Structures are given as C-alpha cells and as structure tokens.
Structure 1
C-alpha cells in the first residue's frame, strides 16, 4: 500500500478515536442542563475518562514494545466509542462514570500501538507524523458538532448514535494492518532509531507534556461553560468556543510539522509555548469577541508542539518507541483530566475565571522545561 494512502487511513482512524476524547468534554454542558450536574460532578466525569487512560497507557506502551499488537487498533477504537455511546443511556451518575472510564481504556489501548505503526509507515518523517496527529485533532474538533447534532435534538437518550465513528474507524484501519502485517510482526521497523535511551530528557519532555495537557483539558472541560457565562453568552457560544479550540489544534499540528523542517523541534515547541502563555491569559481576562481569537491562538500554540513531542519522545527512547508514543501522544489527551476536579472545586468555591487563571502558568512551565532539552541528532532515514 502506498505510504500516503496508509497515512491518510491511519489519520482518519486516529480521528475516529480522538473524537471520543472530545466528546466527553462536549457532553459536559448537556449533563449540566439535563441532569443538573455541578462543576465538581462534571469534573468527575472527565476524571473517570482520564484516570484509567493515564494509568493504562504506559502499560500498553510497554506491552507493544515487547509484542506487536496491531489488533488493538480496531478493538480499542470500538471500545472507546461504546463507552461514550452508553454514557447517556442511564441517569445513574455511577454508570456514567463507568462508561466514560471504559472509553478511556479504549483510548489508552489505541495510542501506543498506533504511534508505533504510524512511525513505521511515516519512516520517521516529522511532517508525516504531523498529518497523523492532525487526524486526532480533527476528531477533537468534530466532537462538539457531532455531540450537539445528536444530543441537542433528542437528549442524552440518543447517545448510542455516537458509536458510528468508532465502527467506521475500526473498519478503515484493517487494510493498513493487513498491508503492514509482516513488518509489524517483525518489530518496530526500520524507521526506528538505534542508540541509547536518554531517560533524563524523556522525563523532562513528559513533564512538559503533562503541563500542556492540564491547560488543554482544563479548557476543553470548562471553556463551553465559561463562554456561556460571559456577557451575551449562550449554548451556541459555548459550542463555538469548543469547536474553535479543537479546530485550532488541527492547524497547529500541521504547522508544527512544517516549522520543524525549518527550525529544530525543540526551538519550535519552545516558541509555541510562549505564544500559548499570552493566549491563555487573553481567554481568561480579555472581554468581547476577541475571546474567540485568543481561543484559536491558544489552540495553535498548544498544538504546534503536539506531533513534535511524539517524535522527540521516540528519539529520546529509541529502544522503546511504544512506551514513548503512549506517554507523549496518549498522556497529552488524558493526564489533564486528573486536574479537572481541582479546577471544578475552585470554580464552585469562587468563580470559573478564578479557577482558570492558574492555567496561564502551565505553558510557561512547558517552555521552561523545553529550554533544558537537547535536539536529538537526525535519523539516518532522512526524517524531515
């Protein structure tokens, strides 16, 4: 199968998985409206989707470093979709938590193996990995539109319809896996770098990813509610803000891959995080329609480093690319949920603006960590 075709199919499959990470946050306003959940309750839902995913992803990463598991791609895609699809069918808060946790496990199982397969197909190209990451960003961007189209028309009882992308994604990945069956069974493939693991740099990179995750998932969880609470806000304003946040990520991912062809990845990521500091401050404190411009700028600033962090992590841990992909690609969409209950508690005790203010510091911490990171030597494959 031609590389470009395989990358497109993997990217679409990635979208069909990450739409469910975006769907959890997109369902928050509907849980609030239909079930009268408070800030703490909806934070718990995001936590349920994130907690098991955060714990499980390094485990799945270690397993895929030891054994190739291509079957995880279709199975985990379906699992992620089923959890979200069932989250609205019961009025029980406990069952809702259980279902979104199941979705989180599906997402956790998908990312390490998909990152390994994508690295094999992309032959180490930063630009190609950026296009793979773009799929996940488009999934995020589509989530609020998909959820609103389904749930706003008939309520949470129609949530089973949300399983459709998972079914599509699971089917699309099968031809790619069949085409790559022999290379996948043989190991990580020739695109994987050789050399010693730089564990210290990988730990610093992972901490930067965690800081980035906290601000992005924090905004994903509460920006729709924040937009609604602003002067002139509405449900439509909240959906629009979430859509802009996710769509800007798609732009940022592709832009990051192209910028890395001109400057090194560490420099590009460092500058992007500086932009994100100012942009998050604009979201929280600047009034009026400029709010949406700052949402878009924040998303671009946070997503320019997205695919670059994946390839950096794999270059820092060349002998454990599954683990590296699971942490840098997977934790990016899960660990931030662990901070969501704290943000919700502060919002309940004070205000949502007060609770979102500390998020301004998170990209600044990522910037500081990137100042200590080296740029790995180019791979012999001629990665872009």
Structure 2
C-alpha cells in the first residue's frame, strides 16, 4: 500500500522530465505555437529603443508613451506646438510604443523591455483608462496572458502581483515551460522531419505597422465640438458607439480584475525602483460615454489606485486626470476619443506636470 503513495510523485517526475526534454531549443522552436500580435510587438520593439537611446545620447530629451488608442492620437502629430518651452533640449516623443487596445500587462512588459537594453527615457507618459480593469474585456490581462509567450524572467517578475487563476496560470507556466510555449509534440516531429521551424508570417506585417513614421491626421477627421454634432453623427458616433463599447467591447460584462490592478501595481514598482520619471494620465471621453461608464465602473478607480500605490512624496511619479480636470478643448471624434486637435493642450499639461517631478532631468 505504501508504494501507492509514490505513484503521484512518479507521474509528476515523468511529466516534469518530458517538459524539460520539450524545452530543448531545437524541439521547442519546431513545436511551439505561432507568435501572435502582442508577442511580435514585444519581439520587435528593441530597434525602437535603440533609436531612442541614440537620440538621447545625441542630446535630445526622450519621452516614451504607453497606452491605447486614446494615446495613439499623439502619433498623429509629427511636431506638437507647445505654449511653452518646457525642456532645455530638443524633445523626441516616441509613440510607436503606443498599442491600440493595449492593457496594463502589455505596457508593463514594454516598459521593462527598455531596461533590458539599458535605456531609460527622460520621461515616461503612461495612460490609465478604467476599461483596462475589466476582466471580461477582449484586451485585458486574461486575454493577453493567453496570447503572450513570456520568458521565465518576465513570469517571475509579475507573479507576486497576481492572485487566483492568474497566479496559478503563471506559476504553472514557470514550472512547465512547454505549457507556456503551447508545445505540440506532433507539430515538432513533423517540422523536425522536414527540417523546418515554426515560421513567423505575421512578424514582418506587425513590424511595418510598428515602425511607421508619425502620420498627420486628416483635417476631415477632426471630429466635432461638443454641441455641434448633427443628429445623425451624434447617433452613430456617440450613442451607437457607446452601446457597442458597453455591450460587445471594452466594457462588456464588466468585472473588476485584481490581476489588471496587479499589473498596474507592478508597473508602478518598476518605475519607482528604477527612478524613471513618469506622468500617469487619465484621458477624458465624451460626456455621454463618461456617464454610462461611471454607471458601470463607479468612475473612481484612478483616484483609488493612485492613492493606494503612488506616494504623494514620490520622487518619480506624478498623475493627471482629464476626467477630474477637463480640457478646454471639447472636440470629439467619437464617444471614446477626443479629437487630435486637442493634443497640443494635453501635451502642454502633461509636460507642465512632468517639470514638477524631482528626478526629471532634461
């Protein structure tokens, strides 16, 4: 009977050994899953950081932006007209690090990727949008953690900030890397017999998009002042789009995600530990969508989490909410986005806050 007690251990050792055999590089590269979009961005971002590092060495003040489509509006300005000269050196704003439909986990990983290359920008500008905390959103931690294949260092770094299913899943990936890489033995055998490895058909396409130069916005697509929408445009861009976001997109089946909060917390700790000057900002949205979102989320997560994780005496981090302190620019493209014509005011206010950061040097 005592021998029976050893069976589970024996089975575990067999599985553990099989997993380690699967992690032999030639096997792993022949049988792992194809990388997906977010993975390709992480793999391809290094040339961006190297270029920014060179600009910094040449005397520019470098600003790295991270966020969703609400931050992507900055990508539509090659040069932003500022009211004041906030910096003593030429400014280089990096927007290729902004990923539409991004989440706290992807932003955390992108920020860490700079440090791996020994690059620290003069300023990080990080977006906080409440929808990023929705566990049921198609673009948050649960979906990204399933999409991304992280290395052991990345998995170990995020583990202490997670709980529940997210923590168990990451721990299992650490213990069994073949699970992390979605290893398929039959695929590996087939590819090895043909002398092939898993091909990355999507990598080139993703990198073309990532490396694009800033594109000026089309003057025809600047949107409308708050009270100047036609009835048809208001219905389509504000009411219908709000309904779509609430029912089928970033606010669908809203459920607060402690693991999204954990990824945000991990980001704060990384920025503080590495003394990276940062402005964390909350974008505004159209008042109609703002009211609907508040009914769902409560509308106060930014204030709660910054109070929980960011010290008022921080030497590195400052915050700014355009929800609490609205823009004078009241032009909107749709329910979820202000117009790109609002970017100069947003940049002025973000950079004015940046100058108050004790560790900010330009």
TM-score tier by shorter-chain length is under 0.3
| TM-score, L = length of structure 1 | 0.21
Q: Normalized against structure 2, the TM-score is what?
A: 0.22
Q: Which has the larger radius of gyration?
A: 2
Looking at secondary structure, tell me which structure has more helix per residue.
1
